[in-house]
Amino acid sequence: MDIRIQSISVDSADPAPLARFWQAALGWRITEEDADEVVLEPPAGSPEDGVVPDLLFLRVPEAKAGKNRLHLDLRPADQAAEVARLEALGARRVDIGQGTSVTWVVLADPEGNEFCVLRAYTEAELAE
């Protein structure tokens, strides 16, 4: 089958500031922007460029309601440092019922979209 995911769309009350949060969070680049939509893509020439789906932030009139049905999982090299950095950018910790014994941290971006910061891979996992 010759099909791939081009973009993951994120509804937003104000796409530009939300895209800038994710731009800073991921180190990606804005490739298109107008008042109603902003496109983020991986850095030009990176291994992800042209492979990983773009993030498309779209203006919508309604506010976010309830827990996301789709969310991003981020895998950093240092979970605690990354959580602190994302919180400094405007993310906040949220409880969606994950409990206290999980190995990931649930955060929400400035518009309340949940995402997870996973633990780093172990040496054994990296060797597989």
Q: State the CATH number of the domain containing residue 102.
A: 3.10.180.10
> pLDDT (tens digit, 9 = 90+) per residue, 82-121?
999 999 999 999 999 999 899 999 999 999 999 999 999 9
Say if residue 123 is in the same domain as residue 107.
yes
Q: Which residue has the tokens 């796409």?
A: 15
Question: Would you say residue 1 lies in a domain?
Answer: no
- 49 in the same domain as 90: no
Number of domains in the chain: 2
Burial class (CB in 10 A: 0-12, 13-18, 19+), 64: middle
User: pTM of this prediction?
Assistant: 0.92
pLDDT at 27: 97
Whole-number percent of the chain with pLDDT over 90: 87
Q: What residues have CB less than 8 Å from 38, skipping those under 6 apart?
A: 15, 16, 18, 19, 30, 32, 56, 57
Residues 78 and 105 in one domain: yes
Residue 15 has pLDDT above 90, yes or no: yes
SS3 54: strand
What average pLDDT does the structure give for the chain? 95
